[in-house]
Structure 1
Amino acid sequence: MKDVFKHYHIGHFINQPTNPTEFEVLRFDKMVEPNVDDFHKHSFYEILWTEKGKSRQIIDYNEYEVKPNSLFFISPNQVHRFEEWKPLSGGTILFTEDFYLLNRTNKDALFELSFLDNLYANPCIEFTKKAFAEILNLIHQIEAEQNRKDKNPTIIQAYLHILLAQVQRHIDKQRETAVSKKYLIQFKQFKTVLEQHFAENKTAKFYADKLHITQHHLNLICKETTNNTATETLRARSILEAKRLLTFTSKTISEIAFELNFTDSSYFAKTFKAFTKQTPQDFKTKMSEKYRTR
């Protein structure tokens, strides 16, 4: 299935598209406007830190307010638009999965972080001034190392690990019951396979078999992680793609239903309305006016 959005790597965000860099840290007041489409996808993770000012981020039709003393996380393959960044005091940290996992034997380390690669988590995490001061101290150490002539990627990576571990500890304190790391890893493995096959409209059993677990266990993982069943998670992914195609392409509703392997356009329309409370045509009209004419 051809993606309708451009994918950008870190080099594009420093206006060096041929630069294969896997890590960068930039302050908003020194940042040059990147030459990227309004709506786009990243091949990397991004952490926005905000010390002062307010702005908005849009990720897959969800609008979020960016506030002071907060971090905002954007994961690969999310459709993203940054409304305003110039009025903000703070900056952005960009890193690839390979950079984070550099020299690490545990390749599931990123999956253990509940706030990354998670459609169901709020990507904006707010801190008290005291807690945010600790976060800023780590960011300043990352900046200082990145700006050295003899900078060491291993040292930068170590600071990044500590930063993300601090964020996870903050999140775990807010939750009444923590999701087990085993379930979190399995859910994100499920999501990885889902990204490869969602357009085929496969059943939950198909994914359970791919993961070598029972369908019952897959349901348990999804319920524990997102409070949705595996089937609801599958359908939500199909509807998200339908929303993207309705908004950003000129494809007809029948063409989209066929592309996402629904049995027919009427069943697609019924399913879409059950999820969104709107018909596909009403959604297409509303979102095209909102996002494609600006």
Structure 2
Amino acid sequence: MMKELFTHYNIGHFINQPSNQTEFEIMQFDNMEEPNVDDIHKHTFYEIIWTEKGVSKQTIDYKEYEVLPNSLFFISPNQVHQFEEWKPLKGGTILFTEDFFLLNHNNKDKLFELSFLDNFYANPCIQFDKENFRDIKQTIELISNEHKRHDKSETITQALLHILLAQIQRCIDTQTEKPISKNYLVVFKQFKNLLEQHFTANQTTSFFANHLNITSHHLNLITKNVTGKTSSEVIRARSILEAKRLLTFTDFTVSEIATQLNYFDSSYFAKLFKAETGKTPIVFKNQMSEKYRIR
């Protein structure tokens, strides 16, 4: 088992109450204390940042995103997120766990059917037109008002959260020429969860297809439909992402990293890395260590 490189924070850490096991929180930027968390970290929960005014930058796994007004930004569990400046912004953040979303619902697929959550191939930043953003903001205000009540109800808050997420999905679907089928999304996210458990073993598409009780051909079809990539490309990209994290945040050699990811020919692994990133592992390590590591 590979040692975790990043601190996993729960919602309590973001309200500066680390021992608080709360599963839902909503905060306006104006009233937020800066959380005492590492700049680079992982969440155990989902976060939706809404921005009414101002511009900020967010980084998720080496990709930088500009967050503009009238937009929402989504962070899912296990993504490596870099904390950015939020003081000049007008807006806020909604934090919720998977358990809170599924409270009194037995069907976990309900969460998987939302294309903008847990999908590392979807753009985590979505800008809306004024009319749609106004509707979304009205629901956010209802959630906020409910959460402030002394007799607040988890059931009502969860119902309003479901409405908000359904509104967001509707906006995305109307902007998409051919929305992805819910069944495909569910299977893809099951594949992604399995990959998260087994990526260090460098397994083949057929290994994951067998676990999902479908053929390799069908898994490929689904993955291509959701991401535009083959299953093998998605599997390889997950290994390369871990290699990037290890190169940036540890002192392991390229050969040690290749071995940890079950590539026993380090020169073959280095070629794969360069094909995927355009840089050799050593060049990448030097550039990223300078950017992210405190000397």
Q: TM-score, normalised by structure 2?
A: 0.98
Matched residue, 2:128: 127
CA contact (8 A) 1:73 1:124 kept: yes
User: In the TM superposition, what are the counterparts of 1:171-186 in structure 2 within 5 Å?
Assistant: 171-186=172-187
Matched residue, 1:11: 12
User: In the TM superposition, what are the counterparts of 1:185-264 in structure 2 within 5 Å?
Assistant: 185-264=186-265
Matched residue, 1:62: 63
Matched residue, 1:23: 24
After TM superposition, what 4+ stretches of structure 1 lie above 4 angstroms from structure 2?
none
Deviation for aligned residue 1:263: 2.0
Give, in whole Å, the separation in 1 of the partners of 2:66 and 2:38. 21
Identical amino acids, percent of aligned pairs? 68
Deviation for aligned residue 1:174: 1.1
SS of corresponding position for 2:160 = helix
Give, in whole Å, the separation in 1 of the partners of 2:133 and 2:214. 40
Matched residue, 1:139: 140
Deviation for aligned residue 1:178: 1.1
Q: Between Structure 1 and Structure 2, how many residues are aligned?
A: 294
Q: Which runs of 5+ in 1 are unaligned?
A: none
Deviation for aligned residue 1:106: 2.0
SS of corresponding position for 1:267 = helix
Give, in whole Å, the separation in 2 of the partners of 1:97 and 1:83. 24
Deviation for aligned residue 1:245: 0.5
User: In the TM superposition, what are the counterparts of 1:65-104 in structure 2 within 5 Å?
Assistant: 65-104=66-105
Give, in whole Å, the separation in 1 of the partners of 2:278 and 2:94. 37
Give, in whole Å, the separation in 2 of the partners of 1:138 and 1:266. 53
CA RMSD of aligned residues (A): 0.9
Deviation for aligned residue 1:265: 1.1
CA contact (8 A) 1:179 1:224 kept: yes
Q: TM-score, normalised by structure 1?
A: 0.99
Matched residue, 2:293: 292
Give, in whole Å, the separation in 1 of the partners of 2:11 and 2:251. 30
SS of corresponding position for 2:49 = strand
> Deviations for 1:238-287, whole angstroms, at most 9, x for unmatched residues?
00000000011111111101100102211110100010110000000011
CA contact (8 A) 1:56 1:82 kept: no
> Deviations for 1:49-73, whole angstroms, at most 9, x for unmatched residues?
0011110000000000011100000
Give, in whole Å, the separation in 1 of the partners of 2:142 and 2:178. 32
CA contact (8 A) 1:55 1:65 kept: yes
SS of corresponding position for 1:56 = strand
> Deviations for 1:61-101, whole angstroms, at most 9, x for unmatched residues?
00000111000000000000122111101100000000000
Give, in whole Å, the separation in 1 of the partners of 2:26 and 2:70. 18
Give, in whole Å, the separation in 2 of the partners of 1:38 and 1:258. 29
Alignment-mate amino acid for residue 21 of structure 2: P
SS of corresponding position for 1:110 = helix
Give, in whole Å, the separation in 2 of the partners of 1:179 and 1:122. 14
Alignment-mate amino acid for residue 228 of structure 2: N
